[in-house]
Amino acid sequence: MADQADWAPISPYSTGVRGRCPRCGQGHLFDGFLTLRPSCEICGLDYSFADPADGPAFFVICFACVPSVALAVWIEVAFQPPFWVHLLISLPFLLLTCILPLRPLKGWLVASQYFYKAEQGRIDRGPSQQPGPGKGGGI
């Protein structure tokens, strides 16, 4: 297995959006549509660091669902079409704009976590803040 220093940094935009490994840019990031692989098949990078949580869904809701619903409401108010027109226009548009961006967004967030070395926050206690005798450190 190669050390981290052996790999040149690759932009998260070029790797994540395509669903490629954030370290080598060649291996696959996904098993299926949104399931992350355990590791890269090319360079062996362990993907256990990746935790995009609800980030992709949040971005899709903000930038795709809201405009899609606004389009459906506008069609209803402006034209008052029968229900089947919404089934043919609004529903497919809503599904396409909400489902298709999920994978590239999740890949981009995972690649960004790797590129920027993002990790869970920790409280850094300096020497003056360490609990000790007489400082209320225990029960």
Beta carbons within 8 Å of 15's beta carbon, 6+ residues apart:
21, 22, 25, 29, 107, 111
User: Are the beta carbons of 114 and 11 closer than 8 angstroms?
Assistant: no
Give the mean pLDDT of 79-106. Answer: 95
Q: What is the pTM of this model?
A: 0.80
Q: Tens digits of per-residue pLDDT, 24-69?
A: 999 999 999 999 999 999 999 999 999 999 999 999 999 999 999 9
Q: According to the model, what pLDDT value does residue 93 have?
A: 94
